[in-house]
Amino acid sequence: MSAAITDQEFALFQRLIYRLAGINLSPAKKILLVGRLSKRLAHYGFGTFSEYYRLLGSGERPDEVQTFVDLLTTNETYFFREPQHFDYLREVIVPARAGGGATFRIWSGACSSGEEPYTMAMVLADALPVGRWEVFASDISLSVLERARAGLYPLERTRGIPPEYLRKYCLKGVRSQEGRLLVAPELRDKVKFAQVNLTAPITGIGEFDVIFLRNVMIYFDAETKRQVVDNMLPSLRSGGYFIVGHSESLNGITDRLMTVRPTIYRKPH
């Protein structure tokens, strides 16, 4: 049976995840928090959430702080989610920006378990078969980054992948891996994963033609949204595209991007 959480304890965890990851955890998420953290209480033999909170604040277990962040930031994703964005990438952005000698670079800013960056890789491999391109994928959660690097998914999670991409870029598991699908190694080699906290200054990742930041800003308050976008924009090349989720908007968040169409923005030259 799960321990009960008091309003005061929940408020402590709200402030902590906001400080660590910029996530604005609403009261409606109390049941989710209890469900995800109860196993950690059981792991340590704690009877209250206050004991677990004290452990996180003690400085003795930075690995447990990372586990806490992982548990509260892991979100559902799937291949070819919001497919209009990938159509626009293939049909408009790549033809306009992939000429010349520069490597075409795209950043999946909140990549979760890897479906988004591997979708990008399939599109780019198809659109630029002899071109130079790479995908950079980041997340704050180390556990999902580990899963993403493996590129191994249950078959039922791959339903959104077009049949021709399945044939060209995916390997069906056999024997011990039956029921699973592996992203082809030539695609995995083009996708680089790294832990990045978007609420902190970002350096050393280079510049990109396109940045995807989809379905993550819904967890941020307005000030954190501004901070995250300000942190990411220096990495966007002039004329590059910034794409958010269909339930999101940059209206009132930044004046440094032009609206191309809803959810798709561009950095002026």
CA distance 154 to 144: 15
Please state the pTM of the whole predicted model. 0.90
- The CATH class given to the 83-266 domain equals alpha beta
Q: Which residues of the chain have pLDDT under 70?
A: 1-2
DSSP string, 123-178: HHHHH-TTS-EEEEEEES-HHHHHHHHHTEEEGGGGTTS-HHHHHHHEEE--GGGT
**Structure confidence at residue 82 (pLDDT):** 95
**Structure confidence at residue 1 (pLDDT):** 54
CA distance 118 to 78: 10
CA distances from 159 to 78, 79, 171, 208, 218 (A): 9, 8, 14, 29, 25
**Structure confidence at residue 2 (pLDDT):** 65
**Structure confidence at residue 239 (pLDDT):** 96
Q: Which residue has the tokens 């979760």?
A: 112
Residues of the chain with CATH 3.40.50.150: 83-266
State the catalytic residues. Answer: 36, 139
Q: List, as own/partner pairs, every contact residues 260-268 make where C-beta atoms lie below 8 angstroms and the sequence separation is at least 24, other chains included.
A: 263/85, 264/85, 264/88, 265/241, 266/239, 266/240, 266/241, 266/242, 267/233, 267/236, 267/237, 267/238, 267/239, 267/240, 267/241, 267/242, 268/238, 268/239
Q: Which residue has the tokens 């559902």?
A: 76
> Which residues are CB-neighbours of 168 under 8 A, at least 6 positions away?
122, 125, 126, 184
CA distances from 137 to 16, 118, 120, 232, 237 (A): 25, 9, 10, 13, 17
**Structure confidence at residue 178 (pLDDT):** 85
Q: Do 207 and 136 contact (CB within 8 A), yes or no? A: no
Residues of the chain with CATH 1.10.155.10: 7-73
- The CATH class given to the 7-73 domain equals mainly alpha
